[in-house]
Amino acid sequence: MAMVAELAPPPPPATVRPAAGGSAIELRGLTKRYGDEAVVNDIAVSIAPGEFFSLLGPSGSGKTTTLMMLAGFVRPDGGGILVDGADIAAVPPQKRGFGMVFQNYAIFPHLNVFENVAFPLRARHWAKDVIGERVNWALDLVRLGRFADRDARQLSGGQQQRVALARAIVFHPHVVLMDEPLGALDKNLRFEMQVEIKEIQQRLGMTVLYVTHDQEEAMSMSDRIAIMNHGRIDQVGPPGEIYERPANPFVGRFLGEANMIEGTVTPELGEVARLRLPSGQELRAPRENSCDAGPGMLFIRPERVEIAPGTAVSADPSANALAGTVHRCSFLGKILRYSVDLDGAAPITVDLQNAAGVTPLPVGARVVMRWPVADSLILSGDE
């Protein structure tokens, strides 16, 4: 490989320039059935050029099937896929021009690192010197420049991951599909790769469709996330929005710890919606479209709840407050996680930063929990 670099004429800078952005992708009513079951059920989403878009969901939610339909390996039973406005239904996988990173990397075991990365260029019959130049560019980008001659099977999992990534971007695709690319890596390496993938994506400006079941991964990398469940998209939005304002209890629980306090939404109107607990106490939340009277639940993240010893529940109009008893306190390192028994209701989880001066509350202590009405959200009861 070093020889190629030496023999090649000085590279014209134009060819090493990063790809000119990404493509817009639109899924229109995309559906896939296996037998009677719709594994992907009428999903519709628009992805902007250069967007990092994640499909997040539990296994069996249809996210990988959706990706495979985009890649062209699974034929949709309904709906369409538009790339920059053109329907690609009839385009075979090899003509779609997407980069793809597979869950198991799918490194070609009989080829060395250089040849693995050169594969998409050779398949396109590029000129030899351009191939050498471009492969070295891609290997440098994933910091594998020194490994070009290495046998692909001698690489560690993380290095194989990088080869797969380099191979997927070496031909400057406008769209890169990634199917749980970091699933097989250990936690620290996974975080490192998240940062790298994100940086490369921003540098090259390509559109990334990323499939994962790891909510932290999706939140840390994505511009927007689509939460999938039972073949449907439950909610689409930026990580902050779907984390703070989940559309339903499933989304709320899937993205992390969540309290769902059950009760009845009262029928009175106004800017503030009220949820009456079985105990008779009332909790408040900003009125949004899901505040129809009837059974409902109040959603609040554990880290938004303050906890203090005492029994006096003050009547602050901007905060909800409930009294309870500490049932358990788990030490999780940077946070202390309390489970607080309410009198006659499901326990509430409260996360407290393990900051300086924090001393754990003893089990059995009477406490008051308080959180802003603005952070509360009323969700309808049926999932």
Partner 1 sequence: MTVATLRPALHVASRAPRDRTLLLMVPAWAMLIVMFLVPLTLFFVRTFMEFDGTTAEFIGQAQDLLFSQPYLTALGTTNWIALIVTVTVLLIGYPIAYYLTTAKGIGVRIVVLSIVLPYFTSIIVRTFSWMVLLGEHGLVNEALLAAGLIGHPLPLMYNRLGVLIGMSYVLLPYMVLTLYAAMRAIDPSLMRAASSLGATGFYAFWRVYFPLSLHGVVSGGLIVYILSIGFFITPALMGGQHDIMIAMLIDRALEVAVDWPSAALMSLTLLVVTMVLYAIYYRITDIRRLIGAR
Least separation, in Å, of the C-beta of 97 and partner 1? 7
Cα–Cα distance measured from residue 208 to residue 124, given in angstroms and rounded to the nearest whole number:
22
How many CB atoms lie under 10 A from the CB of residue 333? 6
338 with 303: CB under 8 angstroms? Answer: no
The alpha carbons of the chain give a radius of gyration, in whole angstroms, of 25
Toward partner 1, which CB reaches closer, 173 or 296? 173
Toward partner 1, which CB reaches closer, 146 or 153? 153
Q: Compute φ and ψ for 52, nearest 5 degrees.
A: -95, 105
Least separation, in Å, of the C-beta of 120 and partner 1? 4
Q: Which long-range contacts (CB under 8 A, 24 or more apart) does 312-315 make?
A: 312/368, 313/368
- CA distances in angstroms from 137 to 2, 22, 203, 319, 375, listed in the order given: 13, 19, 13, 55, 47
Toward partner 1, which CB reaches closer, 155 or 233? 155
Least separation, in Å, of the C-beta of 39 and partner 1? 18
The single residue listed with the structure tokens 């079951």 is 37
Query: Which residues would be at the binding site for partner 1 (CB under 8 A)?
Result: 71-73, 92-100, 102, 104, 106, 108-110, 119-120, 122-124, 153, 167-168, 171, 177
Toward partner 1, which CB reaches closer, 34 or 108? 108
Toward partner 1, which CB reaches closer, 34 or 73? 73
Angle between helices 128-141 and 157-169 (to 10 degrees): 130
Toward partner 1, which CB reaches closer, 181 or 263? 181
Least separation, in Å, of the C-beta of 124 and partner 1? 5
Q: In the chain, what is the greatest distance between 2 CA atoms, to the nearest angstrom?
A: 82
Tokens of 238: 């930026």
Cα–Cα distance measured from residue 151 to residue 124, given in angstroms and rounded to the nearest whole number:
23
Toward partner 1, which CB reaches closer, 167 or 190? 167
The three state secondary structure string of 58-117 is CCCCCHHHHHHHHHCCCCCCEEEEEECCEECCCCCHHHHCCEEECCCCCCCCCCEHHHHH
Tokens of 118: 């050169």
Least separation, in Å, of the C-beta of 258 and partner 1? 36
Q: List the beta bridge partners of residue 26.
A: 46, 82
Q: If DSSP codes are grouped into helix, strand and coil, which group holds residue 284?
A: strand
Toward partner 1, which CB reaches closer, 110 or 334? 110
Least separation, in Å, of the C-beta of 110 and partner 1? 5
Least separation, in Å, of the C-beta of 164 and partner 1? 8
Least separation, in Å, of the C-beta of 210 and partner 1? 15
Least separation, in Å, of the C-beta of 225 and partner 1? 23
Toward partner 1, which CB reaches closer, 100 or 307? 100
189 with 181: CB under 8 angstroms? Answer: no
